[in-house]
Amino acid sequence: MAQATGDRKVNRGSTVRFNHVFTRENPGKIDDFYTMDRKKQLGEGSYGQVTHGVNKATGASRAVKSIDLSKIPNSQRFEDEVNIQCSLDHPHIVKLYETFKDAKRIYLVMELCTGGELFDRIVDLAESHADGHAFDENGAATYMGQILGAMQYLHTNEFVHRDIKPENFLLANKNLDAPIKVIDFGLARKFKSGDPLMKTKAGTPYYVAPQVLGGAYTEKCDVWSCGVIAYILLCGYPPFYGDLDEDILRRVKAGKFNFPSPDWDTISTAAKEFIKISLTFEEAKRPSAADLLAHEWLTKKISQPSGGYVGKDLGAKLKVFRGVSKLKKAALTLIAQQLKDDDIEELKKTFTLLDANKDGTLSAKEIADGMAKHKVQIPADLDEVIRQLDTDGSGNIDYTEFVAATITQKQYSKKEVLWAAFRTFDLDGDGSITKSELSQVLKNASETLVESMVVEHDTDGDGTISFEEFVKMMSI
């Protein structure tokens, strides 16, 4: 049995590399592809509304955000928002599948979350409990783990959200333990260590960090907002309050808050300490999202997914994925992005169990340690196996990469699933995938790689891949 690898990331090596951003702007009309229930709105904002849509080819339910082009104040800013969301791959960040555009509107086809906003869940629970508390400590810690995992992922990938609040988290379903998804990247932007401090005064009064109000801040503005949310999850009201925005902001600028009795008498010292350090006034001393994920309150209180397990065949599955064709790897990665959470619930639970630091990605050490902990045989060549899984070359195994490597043929071989994947590659909709189309979809894939993908599966020698050839490839 191989020894667990060290803390290093997966080494780069000679393997298949392609971009995982499969979101596409479709040339056709959205009504040709989706049945829209425009009478039943899922939500409404200043720029448009969200309705329920069903993909005519696959039957998949989606949330479709319709945005009036005339109401977009800054088209470049909006394009940046879409590009940011397209590039994100995390189990607690809502997925953007595709976009459409007509003369009046742009349509964002997104993952459907049916449980409503976290804000409404907090209000409902606080009103239903005699003590006014929203969540118990296990529930609050579990959600904070999901939120901070998403924040660590964003910050590691040099993004800052800048509008973290309960209204910007959706519950995946109506279950009491429903996972949450981060939404609304309208204020998000690229930011990395060493960049000039951000100056734009963005955010929402209850949750905004004092440095944002001062016009000089870093990604730790998100951490402050997370501290405010943790406070609210436990007691049902914010630490900085007031009848008017100016009253709230005055308290935020002072940075002083307390834990009033009797509401906080039964809350643990560890929970209060977690909130105190999250709301550290001096930004340089405020912990990172990664630091908070390691805090004892989270590590002891987070509820593990019920029924989750690491299967004895995990090593075998990973090795099988290493051996599949290059194009099939790309197709499985695309399919993994588009499958509903309900369809891959067990895989998600396995991923969560392996993801020791809750950042939404897997290191070589986490995979090896998890397999060892669950007494799963570790392949002798695990480092090489993992390197082959890292198809975008990020250095870690992203959520989609793990799902792509572990989904079963039964899960991905349904005709409607294969057709949806094929249609993503077939950009002009003529029934065949060309080298040019593959290059456009896979973006950073080399010309040699694209050439080999087509040649390997072009059985009739016409220089393209038909749907029949695609289906045959996926059955091998």
Mean pLDDT of 368-394: 89
Q: What is the pLDDT of residue 45?
A: 66
Residue 380 pLDDT > 50, yes or no? Answer: yes
Confidence band, pLDDT 50/70/90 cuts, at residue 344: confident
- More confident site: 244 or 341: 244
Mean pLDDT of 322-349: 88
Mean pLDDT of 262-267: 93
Catalytic-residue membership of 136: no
Confidence band, pLDDT 50/70/90 cuts, at residue 282: very high
Domains and CATH numbers, the chain: 24-110 (3.30.200.20), 118-301 (1.10.510.10), 314-475 (1.10.238.10)
CA 426/CA 433 separation, integer angstroms: 5
Q: pLDDT per residue over 315-325, tens digit each?
A: 999 989 988 99
Q: What is the pLDDT of residue 345?
A: 86
Mean pLDDT of 109-130: 87
Q: What percent of the chain clears pLDDT 90, i.e. is strictly above it?
A: 59
- State the virtual CA torsion across 182, 185, 187, 190 in degrees, nearest 10: 100
Amino acid at 170: L
Residue 172 pLDDT > 50, yes or no? Answer: yes
Residue 9 pLDDT > 60, yes or no? Answer: no
Mean pLDDT of 176-190: 91
Q: What is the pLDDT of residue 73?
A: 86
Confidence band, pLDDT 50/70/90 cuts, at residue 389: confident
Residue 297 pLDDT > 80, yes or no? Answer: yes
Q: What is the pLDDT of residue 4?
A: 39
Asked if residues 21 and 333 have their Cβ atoms less than 8 Å apart, the reply is no
Burial of residue 19 (number of CB atoms within 10 Å: 0-12, 13-18, 19+): middle
The region of weakest confidence among 29-38, 234-243, 302-311 is 302-311
- More confident site: 4 or 43: 43
- Out of 7, 37, 68, 163, which one is annotated catalytic? 163
Beta strand 159-160 pairing with 61-68: unpaired
**Tokens (6 digits) for 297:** 């309150």
The region of weakest confidence among 209-218, 258-267, 361-370, 442-451 is 442-451
Residue 212 pLDDT > 80, yes or no? Answer: yes
Q: What is the pLDDT of residue 46?
A: 61
- More confident site: 57 or 373: 373
Q: What is the mean pLDDT of the chain?
A: 89
Burial of residue 325 (number of CB atoms within 10 Å: 0-12, 13-18, 19+): middle
Residue 168 pLDDT > 80, yes or no? Answer: yes
Residue 129 pLDDT > 80, yes or no? Answer: no
